[in-house]
Amino acid sequence: MDDQGCPRCKTTKYRNPSLKLMVNVCGHTLCESCVDMLFVRGSGNCVQCDTPLRKSNFRVQLFEDPAVDKEVEIRKKVLKIYNKRDFDFSNLREYNDYLERVEEIVYNLTNNLEVEGTKQIMEAYQRENRDIIQKNKAKLTREQEELEELLLLEQQGNEQRRLETLQEEQRQLQAKRKSKQALLDELERSHVPATILLAQHKDRAAQLETQIEKQKQVVKTTIFSTGIPMGQTVSLLTVNRLEEVLYHYQPIHMHTYGPPVPELEQLGRLGYLNHVRTAQPQDMAGGYNSGLACHRAIQDAFSGLFHPLG
């Protein structure tokens, strides 16, 4: 990195360690001070390739090879538009083809091959797929989701561990303070000679110490040897079988207080069906026939026809 320098003022990283190199969309570098000087008015042309550039588009160069900076910039832009996920495709093959097309576009734009044509393709794509692009903006790919989940788990684990150690320390500190206080109290009140008390205290302190040491050594196990995490309750008791009476269907008996409602089977024979629209083949596919609707309508019509008043 030491031998890198600004192509305009020829300052190198070696001579000026605080040199900041910037890179714009064309992939050519300039140092920060040159950028400030050349682009006072906010825009200008690249020193090397004469592309019109804007000052606000200058980025700090992250990589040694400015071409990679440029490519990443382009790629981010392209990926904003081409943001279909693997579940938008019916099979893997199509998804892979799509990925390759994206890669092709990035490659062309980076290496200045058929820039105009590529841009047109992009625009066309954007117009066609506006909805999907909008929809996928917030979505992550499945793998990224997995990663996020892992990171979250990791974070939780670390936090847990930190808290545990913190609590442990607190507890120990308190225990020590308590024993000290107890000694002072005893010295104040008790009639036993101080030396004995002190000796007792020393004993107790030593005991406490060993106890703490022991506790420290007992590492909490978090999973059983079978791989099942602790805390997750796994009941090994057999599940009691509930003895219940089986449900028995009883047909509803409707009371219409009037003439009997014709049965579903009879509808055709009695000529009711002649007066309703016959079912289309599409409707029949799902199990529908015109009798069903007709029957319901007739049931509706009959029910409550002769309802006794009062």
Partner 1 sequence: MKLNIEGLLVYFPYDYIYPEQYSYMLELKRTLDAKGHGVLEMPSGTGKTISLLSLIVAYQREYPLEVTKLIYCSRTVPEIEKVVEELRKLMEFYSKETGEKNNILALALSSRKNLCVHPEVSSLRFGKEVDGKCHSLTASYIRAQRHSNPSLPSCRFYEEFDAMGKQVPLPAGVYNLDDLKDFGRRKGWCPYYLARYSILHANIIVYSYHYLLDPKIADLVSKELSKKSVVVFDEAHNIDNVCIDSMSVNITRRTLDRSQANVETLQNTILKIKETDAAKLKEEYRRLVEGLKEANVARETDIYMSNPVLPDEILQEAVPGSIRTAEHFVGFMKRFLEYLKARLRIHHVVQESAPQFLKDIFEKVCIDRKPLRFCAERLRSLLRTLEIADIADFSAITLISNFATLVSTYSKGFTIIIEPFEDRTPTIANPVLHFSCMDPSIAIKPVFERFQSVIITSGTLSPLDIYPRILDFRPVTVASFTMTLARTCLCPLVVGRGNDQVAMTSKFETREDFAVIRNYGNLLLEMSAIVPDGIVAFFTSYTYMENIVASWYEQGILENVQRNKLIFIETPDAAETSMALEKYQEACENGRGAILLSVARGKVSEGIDFVHHFGRAVIMFGVPYVYTQSRILKARLEYLRDQFQIRENDFLTFDAMRHAAQCVGRAIRGKTDYGLMIFADKRYARADKRGKLPRWIQEHLTDGSLNLTIDETVQLSKHFLRQMAHSIHDISNCNVQCFCQLNLSQEDQLGLSLLTLEQLQSEDMLQKIAQIAHQA
Judged by the rule CB under 8 A, the positions of this chain that interact with partner 1 are 1, 62-65, 68, 71-72, 75-76, 79, 92-93, 95-104, 107, 110, 141, 143-144, 147-148, 150-151, 154, 157, 161, 217, 219, 221-222
The Cα-based distances of 196 to 82, 108, 155, 191, 209 in angstroms read: 82, 89, 51, 11, 20
- Spatial neighbors of 267 by CB under 8 A, at least 6 apart, are 273, 291, 294, 295, 298
Query: Which residue, 39 or 66, has its beta carbon nearer to partner 1?
Result: 66
Residue closer to partner 1, measured from CB, 162 or 180: 162
Cβ distance to partner 1 smaller for residue 4 or 256: 4
Token match 């001579």: residue? 15
Q: Which is nearer to partner 1, 30 or 74 (CB)?
A: 74
Residue placing its CB nearer to partner 1 in the complex, 32 or 86: 86
| Residue for token pair 């390739």 | 49
Q: Which of 48, 45, 13, 16 is nearest to 29 (CA)?
A: 48
Residue 42, by phi and psi: left (phi above 0), alpha (psi -120 to 50) or beta?
A: left
- Residue nearer to partner 1 on the CB measure, 12 or 299: 12
Hey, is 23 helix, strand or coil? strand
Residue 74: in which H helix or E strand, if any? Answer: helix 66-81
* Amino acid type, 34: C
- CA torsion sign, 206 to 209 to 215 to 219? negative
- With a CB cutoff of 8 Å and minimum separation 6, the contacts of 98 are 82, 84, 89
Report the nearest approach of partner 1 to the CB of residue 172 (Å). 18
Query: Least Å distance between CB 107 and partner 1?
Result: 6
